[in-house]
Amino acid sequence: MPRLVFIVGGARSGKSGFAQRRVESEPAAGKTFIATCPALDDEMRGRIERHRADRAGRGWNTIEEEVDLAAALAASPAGDAVLIDCLTLWINNVMRRSGQPDEDRMAELARETVCAARSRSGLVVMVANEVGLGIVPADPLSRLFRDLSGRVNQVVAANADEAHFMVAGMSYRLK
């Protein structure tokens, strides 16, 4: 039975650790991590290595996919519990590669990803940042990113079986 869990929160709120523990507690055949983070500089490469080290020796299969999450879900082994970390970087990657998609296009891509998750049996966990709790960004590109993130989060949350908001390492169940 397909199950979709959405975990959202601020930067360094504990989202990734909570999501990883959620997947690891699942009695699935295996675990697949779909990584959306591009290694654009040394600092980001270091973050990626720390995340890999956190999963090392724990039976994780990793798929690195920056844009086509539906294809990455289809490529992950049948029966695996899947963790996508994170949708916010995915939005950034789509913007970087495709210019400036509007909210409707980004919502459609999110729906396609949700449909791909729902077509699997078992657990899919999606992680995203909540970027809309701060001030209104000063420039149009940053405002677009904030708006696209909010729209994607709404689409995923509406379709999730379970949703959690993370703050200070604590999970608050929303749904």
Q: What is the pLDDT of residues 75-90, one digit of tens each?
A: 999 999 999 999 999 9
- pLDDT of 10: 95
Q: What is the residue-averaged pLDDT of the chain? A: 93
In the chain the domains, ranked by start, together with CATH numbers, are 3-173 (3.40.50.300)
Candidates 33, 17, 15, 9; CA nearest to 123 is: 33
* DSSP H or E stretch at residue 160: none
b/e for 39-74, b at 16 or more Cβ within 10 A? eeeeeeeeeeeebeeebeeeebeebebbbbbbebbe
Residue type, 139: D
Spatial contact of 53 and 33, defined as CB atoms under 8 Å apart: no
- pLDDT of 148: 97
Give the active site residue among 3, 51, 105, 118: 51
Q: Residue 29 above 80 pLDDT?
A: no
Q: Residue 1 above 80 pLDDT?
A: no
Give the pLDDT band of residue 50 (cuts 50, 70, 90): confident
Q: Residue 66 above 90 pLDDT?
A: yes
Residue predicted with more confidence, 6 or 78: 6
Q: Residue 125 above 90 pLDDT?
A: yes
Written as six digits, the tokens of 154 are 């709404």
The most distant pair of C-alpha atoms in the chain lies apart, rounded to whole Å, by 47
Residue type, 111: R
Residue type, 168: A
- For 24-78, give the DSSP string: HTS--S-EEEEE-----SHHHHHHHHHHHHHHTTTTEEEEE-SS-HHHHHHHSPT
- pLDDT of 39: 78
Q: Active site includes 164?
A: no
d(Cα 63, Cα 8) in Å, to the nearest integer? Answer: 21
- Mean pLDDT is lowest, of 1-15, 54-68, 98-112, 147-161, for 54-68
Q: Residue 128 above 90 pLDDT?
A: yes
Percent of the chain with pLDDT over 70: 99
Q: Residue 56 above 80 pLDDT?
A: no
